[in-house]
Structures are given as C-alpha cells and as structure tokens.
C-alpha cells in the first residue's frame, strides 16, 4: 500500500505534468493547465483516465466533445487525439495511464 502524495493537486504551471507513481502496469500523475492556457499534448500510446479535481474546460476528441468540471472522469483510449480547450478555471487533472506512461512508445 502507498499513499500517493500530491496526486491531483494544483501545481500552478502551464502544461505541467508530474508523475507521482510508476509501475510497469500503470502510472499516476497530475496535469495542470491554467485558465486561458493551451493544452498541446499529443496522443498517447497507452489508455488514459482523467479525473478532474479542480477547474472547468471542454475536452475535444474526434468522437465528440464535452464540458468537464470537478468530479468528471474521462476515458481516452490509446492513440486517440484529445485536447482540453476553453479552460475557464485553473484545471487540475489526476491522470492514470495503463500501462505506464510512455511504456509502449
């Protein structure tokens, strides 16, 4: 058992990704985008789950788009282009990758 300190907590930097836990099968981290900021990430080679802990934005993918806010849980399959846009409040995302981020690259 391990308590993952700082996961899902605002770090205050544009596009800031911090990985707090890594095992071969998954990784957990925090991604922060300030209000008005730009999400310039590329599709990942791993499945991904986002949990919005603070803030508001819209997520856009080729299959649709949705408004998201605290408590929203978003699944993005490996390889799917996705982006958070119209970030109206500082956005903090708890992110879980399976398998670990970059391990299929």
CATH number at residue 75: 2.60.120.10
Let me know if residue 85 belongs to a domain.
Answer: yes
Domain hosting 36: range is 17-98
Number of domains in the chain: 1
Let me know if residue 1 belongs to a domain.
Answer: no
CA distance 8 to 26: 16
Band (pLDDT 50/70/90 cuts) for residue 93 is: very high
pTM of the model: 0.93
Band (pLDDT 50/70/90 cuts) for residue 57 is: very high
Let me know if residue 37 belongs to a domain.
Answer: yes
pLDDT of residue 17: 87
Rounded mean pLDDT of 17-46? 94
Whether residue 13 has pLDDT greater than 80: no
Let me know if residue 78 belongs to a domain.
Answer: yes
Whether residue 82 has pLDDT greater than 70: yes
Whether residue 15 has pLDDT greater than 70: no
CA distance 97 to 57: 21
């Amino acid at each position: 058992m391990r308590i993952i300190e700082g996961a899902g907590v605002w770090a205050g930097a544009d596009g800031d990704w911090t990985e707090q836990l890594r095992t071969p099968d998954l990784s957990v981290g925090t991604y922060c985008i300030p209000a008005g900021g730009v999400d310039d990430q590329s599709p990942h080679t791993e499945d991904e789950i986002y949990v919005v802990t603070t803030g508001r934005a819209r997520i856009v993918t080729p299959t649709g788009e949705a408004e998201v806010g605290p408590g929203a849980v978003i699944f993005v399959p490996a390889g799917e282009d996705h982006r958070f846009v119209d970030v109206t409040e500082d956005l903090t995302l708890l992110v879980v990758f399976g398998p670990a981020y970059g391990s299929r690259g």
